[in-house]
């Protein structure tokens, strides 16, 4: 291997290896920190969403408790009860509030929808048993056919016996609008029922089709009460970062989901920049290495050529442009001096040989 090639490889190795190590460590550290920050942001978002949903449910139940404690409601004074429900619905227009008697018959509503019999509904049974606050699973409203969930509280008579149920219907399209407002950018917020079906999602098709997400392991873990943040695949098979938590009051699983490609986009951009910079640095180092190795070895190549000429017996004067005062310059000047000395020595030898030949000829002539 030529000296120039060895020098070039040495320059590349000493320059690029530290650069590769530094780039690798820096990128790995940045990606790790980005992943950690992304997880933290997802968890912060989840806590915010949990607070918003808990606040929404608390607001609805506070409204129901206030209404349920009104004398007109407790005594089933239907005329005044109707007014109370209408006034409450004006403050909470997203709710349809109804008063049910002990047989499960709706007796008054905040709107003009038909009064239906709901004794077969689980929320009615739970409230009649004394469950103070209950959130139903997904239901199809008997009066409208729309998908709803129901918040319910028991209604007690003045003697504190349970005589009915006060219910508030929440339409799932309104609940989906609520979580859509909480979603931002590429992050989706959605809510699943106790059974793992979609109650609210920015994509209304999931709600309308009552999509079942139970096939996802993190959903099963979440419904079992495990709160976590992890990287996994969503229902569409896309790699996402997910944070989930169970709302104990409603039994809802609240999920915050962000595509990995979007969450880690800044890391990927940095990685691309680092790769581009590394390639550019390799090219620059290669060019500089080639230039300096060529510049360094050229005088040596010239000196080597001169030495070969001398070895062939040619002691002519030579001139090489070597302006440096380093070892190469000293080598050149020493070689030049050596050549001059050799040339002088050869000249002396030739002169002595010529004299010897002349004397020999004279001696021969004298002898004859």
pLDDT at 86: 95
CA distance 96 to 170: 7
3-state helix/strand/coil string of 188-201: EEEEECCCCEEEEC
Structure tokens at 196: 């793992």
Torsions phi, psi for 242 (to 5 deg): -120, 135
Tell me whether the CATH fold assigned to 38-57+175-264 matches the one assigned to 69-171.
yes
Q: Look up residue 282 and give its two tokens.
A: 């390799």
CA nearest to 190, candidates 182, 201, 176: 201
Strand-pair category, 239-247 with 162-171: unpaired
C-alpha gyration radius of the chain:
46
- Kindly report the pTM of this predicted structure: 0.69
Query: CB of 209 within 8 A of CB of 138?
Result: no
Q: What is the pLDDT of residue 321?
A: 63
Given this model, what pLDDT does residue 325 score?
Answer: 66
Domain boundaries, the chain: 38-57+175-264, 69-171
Per-residue pLDDT of the chain (368 residues; tens, 9 = 90+): 566 677 667 777 777 777 777 777 777 776 677 778 888 888 999 999 999 999 999 999 999 999 999 999 999 999 999 999 999 999 999 999 999 999 999 999 999 999 999 999 999 999 999 999 999 988 999 988 899 999 999 999 988 999 999 999 999 988 899 899 988 878 899 999 999 999 999 999 999 898 999 999 999 999 999 999 999 999 999 999 999 999 998 999 999 999 888 766 666 777 777 778 778 877 887 787 777 777 776 766 667 777 777 776 766 666 666 666 666 667 767 777 777 777 777 778 878 778 787 777 777 776 65
**Token pair of 214 as six digits:** 């139970």
CA distance 368 to 359: 14
**Domain 69-171: which CATH number of 3.30.465.10, 3.30.450.20, 3.30.420.10, 1.10.3720.10:** 3.30.450.20
Percent helix / strand / coil, the chain, rounded to 5 = 55, 20, 25
User: Which pair of tokens denotes residue 15?
Assistant: 């320059």
CA 56 to mean position of chain CA atoms = 30
Write the DSSP assignment of 195-253 as a string of letters. TSBEEE-SSHHHHHTT-B-TTSHHHHHHHTT--EEEEEE-TTS-EEEEEEEEETTTTEE
Check residue 114 and give its pLDDT: 93
CATH of region 38-57+175-264: 3.30.450.20
């Amino acid at each position: 291997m030529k000296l120039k090639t060895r020098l070039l490889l040495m320059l590349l190795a000493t320059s690029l290896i530290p650069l590769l190590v530094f780039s690798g460590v820096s990128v790995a550290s940045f990606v790790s920190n980005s992943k950690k920050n992304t997880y933290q942001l997802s968890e912060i978002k989840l806590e915010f969403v949990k607070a918003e949903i808990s606040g929404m449910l608390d607001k609805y139940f506070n409204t129901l408790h206030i209404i349920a404690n009104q004398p007109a409601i407790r005594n089933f004074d239907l005329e005044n009860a109707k007014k109370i429900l209408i006034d409450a619905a004006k403050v909470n227009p997203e709710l349809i509030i109804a008063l049910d008697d002990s047989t499960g018959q709706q007796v008054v509503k905040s709107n003009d929808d038909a009064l239906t019999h709901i004794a077969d509904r689980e929320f009615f049974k739970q409230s009649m048993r004394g469950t103070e606050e209950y959130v139903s699973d997904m239901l199809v409203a008997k009066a409208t056919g729309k998908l709803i969930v129901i918040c319910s509280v028991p209604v007690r008579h003045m003697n504190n016996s349970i005589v009915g149920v006060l219910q508030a219907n929440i339409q799932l399209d309104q609940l989906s609008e609520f979580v859509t407002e909480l979603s931002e950018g590429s992050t989706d917020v959605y809510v699943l029922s106790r059974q793992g079906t979609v109650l609210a999602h920015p994509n209304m098709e999931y709600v309308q089709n009552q999509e079942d997400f139970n096939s996802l392991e993190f959903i099963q873990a979440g419904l079992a009460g495990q709160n976590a943040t992890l990287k996994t695949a969503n229902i569409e098979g896309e790699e996402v970062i997910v944070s989930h938590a169970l709302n104990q009051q409603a039994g809802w699983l609240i999920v915050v989901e962000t595509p990995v490609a979007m969450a880690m986009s800044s890391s990927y951009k940095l990685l691309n920049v680092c790769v581009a910079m590394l390639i550019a640095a390799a090219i620059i180092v290669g060019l500089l290495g080639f230039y300096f190795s060529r510049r360094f070895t050229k005088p040596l190549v010239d000196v080597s050529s001169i030495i070969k000429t001398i070895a062939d017996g040619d002691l002519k004067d030579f001139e090489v442009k070597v302006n440096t005062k380093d070892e190469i310059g000293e080598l050149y000047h020493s070689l030049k001096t050596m050549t001059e000395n050799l040339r002088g020595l050869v000249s002396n030898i030739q002169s002595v040989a010529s004299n010897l030949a002349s004397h020999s000829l004279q001696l021969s002539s004298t002898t004859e």
